[in-house]
Amino acid sequence: MNNYKLLELISSGCFGSVYKGKHNRNNQLVAIKIESKNGHTHLLKNETRVYNCLKNQVGFPQLKWYGVDMLNYYLVIDLLDFSLHGLIDKYKALSIRTILYIARQLFERLRILHQHHIIHRDIKPDNFLIDLKSNIFYLIDFGFSKMYIQNGKHINFKTKNSIIGTPNFISINIHDNCEPSRRDDIESTLYVLLYCLLGELEWDTENDLEKIATLKTNIIHEDIPPCFKFALIYVRQLTFDQTPDYAYLTSLFNYDKCEKFEWN
Reported as a single tens digit per residue, the pLDDT across 18-56 is 999 999 999 999 999 999 988 777 899 999 999 999 999
Question: Is 110 in contact with 121 (CB distance < 8 Å)?
Answer: no
Which residue among 78, 105, 129 closes a domain? 78
Which residue among 25, 44, 78 closes a domain? 78
Residue 258 lies in a domain: no
Q: Could you tell me the residue range of the domain that residue 72 belongs to? A: 4-78
Cα 36 from Cα 214, distance rounded (Å): 38
Q: Which of 122, 141, 184, 185 is catalytic?
A: 122
Query: Based on the domain organization, do 128 and 42 belong to the same domain?
Result: no
Query: Based on the domain organization, do 67 and 90 belong to the same domain?
Result: no
φ, ψ for residue 256, nearest 5 deg:
-110, 120
Residue 260 lies in a domain: no
pTM over 0.75: yes
Residue 257 lies in a domain: no
Query: Based on the domain organization, do 119 and 139 belong to the same domain?
Result: yes
Select the more confidently predicted residue: 114 or 263. 114
- The answer to whether residue 184 is catalytic is no
Residue 201 lies in a domain: yes
Query: Based on the domain organization, do 95 and 65 belong to the same domain?
Result: no
Residue 174: which CATH number? 1.10.510.10
Tell me: the pLDDT tens digits for 132-153? 999 999 999 999 999 999 999 9
What total number of domains does the chain contain?
A: 2
Residues of the chain with pLDDT > 90: what percent?
88
Residue 40: which CATH number? 3.30.200.20
Query: Based on the domain organization, do 39 and 114 belong to the same domain?
Result: no
**Diameter of the chain measured on Cα atoms:** 57
Which residue among 78, 94, 128 closes a domain? 78
Residue 261 lies in a domain: no
φ, ψ for residue 84, nearest 5 deg:
-60, -35
Query: Based on the domain organization, do 44 and 151 belong to the same domain?
Result: no
Q: What's the confidence (pLDDT) of residue 258?
A: 44
- What mean pLDDT is predicted for residues 247-263? 71
Query: Based on the domain organization, do 109 and 225 belong to the same domain?
Result: yes
Residue 99 lies in a domain: yes
Query: Based on the domain organization, do 99 and 171 belong to the same domain?
Result: yes
Distances (CA, A) of 235 to 105, 146, 231: 18, 20, 6
Query: Based on the domain organization, do 224 and 137 belong to the same domain?
Result: yes
Residue 203 lies in a domain: yes
Query: Based on the domain organization, do 98 and 173 belong to the same domain?
Result: yes
Query: Based on the domain organization, do 72 and 92 belong to the same domain?
Result: no
Helix, strand, coil abundance in the chain, percent, nearest 5: 35, 20, 45
Cα 9 from Cα 111, distance rounded (Å): 32
Query: Based on the domain organization, do 165 and 69 belong to the same domain?
Result: no
Q: What's the confidence (pLDDT) of residue 262?
A: 52
What is the SS3 assignment for 72? Answer: strand
